[in-house]
């Protein structure tokens, strides 16, 4: 097909198409890409990009010089009648010293930049806001443990809110398999490891405040294979103005009204939602929380905190948009919407604590003793959406 066109003398069109394709591919990153290390919107991400680009160009120049030297040598010293044996330089002391010292110098300079940046980023900035990020299968839990000196804890999922320009100190952990937390436009990537705490800094550009709210959302992704739904384990970060953040934070501290709790109880009694989900106003005990090194526990954390789900834009590892329809489908048959158990009903009736065996949310359409109807799922979904605080 392509050849036929060429033969008919229209290679220009093909060329134009090719060029367009390349430009389109290259342009994918242009300003609309919210998940790119090449478009940093935070200090750490920018520092990382700059050091990467610096090293890239050093390596590129060296690489090109070496290629040129090889080509030059191959041509200049090729076998020709009369020069069977070119001049030998084996054991040439000056040369040997030069090609030992030069790379060592280059690496030392690169090393100085790298190490000073590592130290810079490894230090907890003074007055930082502290947030613990737990990787779960397959979603993210955010615990705000220190905000403006306050230690009132906000627990939320999948959507990180941070005020622009303020230093944030993230503590990464896991209570299951390993994950890796990465919001490329804002900061570097580090692993969430069970039994070990990692930290990263995040400082979103203050300039972002010139942007409308819709341009202050950034995407991320779990970057460490963590089971079947790993690819669905996404994350969003919203960079707030100071006021937006304060309003959001205050709203997240509130509980459901007693009327709301009473209404929810009738479903909760059947489907035990609150045995896996933290609901402020309905919180139970702490037994499900596996805590490391004095971190504040989340009362119930097998699933995300549902209290303020309605204030988020997405759910289930930020995979689905928060709409009535999506939420209804999820509550009715979550297993069909996550690759966790190959769509099979969960095979662990006791939801054993601290066991990775049994992950995800049950399919309530198959709930033993009381199969959920779609109408009921819709009612619950609507109820959850009605708990919007802002
Ligand atoms: Cu993961």
Mean pLDDT by 10 residues, the chain (390 residues): 41 53 48 84 96 95 96 88 77 91 94 95 94 93 88 89 96 92 96 94 96 94 89 94 95 91 94 89 54 56 91 94 95 79 45 50 86 96 91
- Cα–Cα dist 383/367, whole Å: 20
- What pLDDT is stored for residue 2 in this prediction? 39
Q: How far is the CA of 139 from the centre of ligand 1 (A)?
A: 7
User: Is 31 within a domain?
Assistant: no
Burial class, 108, CB count within 10 angstroms (exposed 0-12 / middle 13-18 / buried 19+) = exposed
Residues 143, 105: one domain?
Answer: no
Q: How far is the CA of 270 from the centre of ligand 1 (A)?
A: 30
Q: Which residues, listed in sequence order, are joined to residue 234 by a DSSP beta bridge?
A: 221
347 contacts: CB under 8 Å, gap ≥ 6: 341, 358
Q: How far is the CA of 277 from the centre of ligand 1 (A)?
A: 19
User: Is 30 within a domain?
Assistant: no
- What pLDDT is stored for residue 368 in this prediction? 83
Q: How far is the CA of 134 from the centre of ligand 1 (A)?
A: 10
384 contacts 376 by C-beta, under 8 angstroms? no
What letter does residue 185 receive in the DSSP assignment? T
Q: How far is the CA of 221 from the centre of ligand 1 (A)?
A: 8
Q: How far is the CA of 316 from the centre of ligand 1 (A)?
A: 12
Q: How far is the CA of 318 from the centre of ligand 1 (A)?
A: 12
User: Is 7 within a domain?
Assistant: no
Structure tokens at 197: 């705490």
Residues 136, 259: one domain?
Answer: yes
Q: How far is the CA of 224 from the centre of ligand 1 (A)?
A: 6
Q: How far is the CA of 179 from the centre of ligand 1 (A)?
A: 4
Q: How far is the CA of 187 from the centre of ligand 1 (A)?
A: 17
Q: How far is the CA of 304 from the centre of ligand 1 (A)?
A: 15
User: Is 14 within a domain?
Assistant: no
Structure tokens at 239: 């960079």
Q: Residue 133: what are its φ and ψ, rounded to 5°?
A: -110, 115
- Cα–Cα dist 158/352, whole Å: 24
Q: How far is the CA of 183 from the centre of ligand 1 (A)?
A: 13
Q: Which residues, listed in sequence order, are joined to residue 200 by a DSSP beta bridge?
A: 170
Q: How far is the CA of 191 from the centre of ligand 1 (A)?
A: 9
Residues 112, 219: one domain?
Answer: no
Residues 109, 131: one domain?
Answer: no
Residues 278, 249: one domain?
Answer: yes
Residues 114, 143: one domain?
Answer: no
317 contacts 234 by C-beta, under 8 angstroms? yes
Q: Return the SS3 of 282.
A: coil
Q: How far is the CA of 177 from the centre of ligand 1 (A)?
A: 8
Q: How far is the CA of 176 from the centre of ligand 1 (A)?
A: 10
User: Is 117 within a domain?
Assistant: yes
Q: Which residue stretches of the chain are H helix?
A: 2-7, 11-27, 43-76, 93-122, 242-253, 258-271, 273-276, 324-333, 374-386
- What pLDDT is stored for residue 354 in this prediction? 41
Domain that holds residue 247: 126-390
- What pLDDT is stored for residue 17 in this prediction? 54
Residues 118, 166: one domain?
Answer: no
Residues 101, 203: one domain?
Answer: no
User: Is 59 within a domain?
Assistant: yes
Q: How far is the CA of 340 from the centre of ligand 1 (A)?
A: 12
Q: How far is the CA of 178 from the centre of ligand 1 (A)?
A: 7
Q: How far is the CA of 132 from the centre of ligand 1 (A)?
A: 15
Q: State pTM to two decimals.
A: 0.84
Residues 110, 182: one domain?
Answer: no
Query: How many domains are contained in the chain?
Result: 2
Residues 226, 101: one domain?
Answer: no
User: Which candidate, 143, 219, 238, places its Cα nearest to that of 181?
Assistant: 219
Q: How far is the CA of 233 from the centre of ligand 1 (A)?
A: 6
Residues 189, 109: one domain?
Answer: no
Sign of the C-alpha dihedral, residues 5, 10, 14, 17?
A: negative
- Cα–Cα dist 247/239, whole Å: 13
- What pLDDT is stored for residue 1 in this prediction? 37
Q: What is the CATH number of the domain that holds 301?
A: 2.60.40.420
Q: How far is the CA of 37 from the centre of ligand 1 (A)?
A: 19
Q: How far is the CA of 223 from the centre of ligand 1 (A)?
A: 7
Q: How far is the CA of 52 from the centre of ligand 1 (A)?
A: 25
User: Is 80 within a domain?
Assistant: no
User: Is 71 within a domain?
Assistant: no
Residues 382, 292: one domain?
Answer: yes
What value, to the nearest 5°, has the Cα angle with vertex 61 and ends 75 and 25?
A: 105
């Amino acid at each position: 097909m392509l050849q036929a066109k060429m033969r008919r003398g229209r290679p220009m069109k093909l060329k134009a198409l090719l060029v367009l394709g390349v430009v389109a591919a290259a342009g994918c990153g242009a300003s609309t890409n919210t998940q790119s290390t090449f478009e940093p919107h935070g200090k750490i991400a920018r520092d990382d990009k700059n050091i990467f680009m610096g090293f890239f160009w050093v390596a590129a120049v060296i690489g090109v010089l070496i290629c040129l030297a090889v080509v030059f040598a191959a041509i200049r010293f090729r076998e020709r009648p009369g020069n069977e044996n070119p001049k030998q330089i084996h054991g040439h002391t000056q040369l040997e010293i030069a090609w030992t010292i030069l790379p060592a110098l280059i690496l030392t300079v690169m090393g100085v930049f790298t190490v000073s940046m590592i130290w810079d980023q490894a230090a907890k900035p003074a007055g930082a806001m502290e947030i613990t990020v737990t990787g779960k299968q397959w979603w993210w839990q955010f615990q705000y443990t220190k905000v403006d000196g306050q230690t009132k804890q906000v627990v939320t999922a999948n959507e990180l809110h941070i005020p622009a320009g303020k230093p944030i100190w993230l503590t990464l952990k896991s209570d299951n398999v390993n994950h890796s937390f990465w919001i490329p436009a804002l900061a570097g990537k580090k692993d969430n490891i069970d039994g070990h705490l990692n930290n990263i800094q995040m400082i979103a550009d203050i300039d972002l405040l010139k942007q409308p709210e819709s341009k202050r959302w950034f995407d991320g992704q779990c970057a460490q294979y963590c089971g079947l739904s790993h690819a669905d384990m996404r994350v969003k970060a919203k960079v707030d103005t100071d006021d937006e953040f304060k309003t959001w934070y205050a709203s997240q501290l509130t509980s459901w009204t007693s009327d709301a709790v009473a209404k929810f109880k009738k479903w909760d009694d059947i489907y035990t939602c609150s045995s896996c989900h933290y609901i402020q106003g309905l919180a139970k005990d702490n037994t499900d929380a596996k805590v490391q090194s004095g971190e504040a526990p989340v009362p119930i954390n097998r699933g995300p905190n549902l209290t303020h789900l309605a204030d988020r834009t997405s759910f289930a590892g930020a995979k689905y948009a928060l709409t009535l329809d999506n939420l209804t489908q999820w509550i009715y048959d979550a297993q069909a919407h996550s690759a966790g158990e190959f769509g099979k009903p969960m095979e662990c009736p006791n939801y054993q604590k601290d066991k990775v065996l049994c992950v995800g949310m049950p399919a309530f359409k198959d709930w033993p003793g009381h199969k959920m109807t779609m109408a009921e799922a819709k009612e619950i979904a609507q109820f959850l959406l009605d708990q919007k605080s802002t």
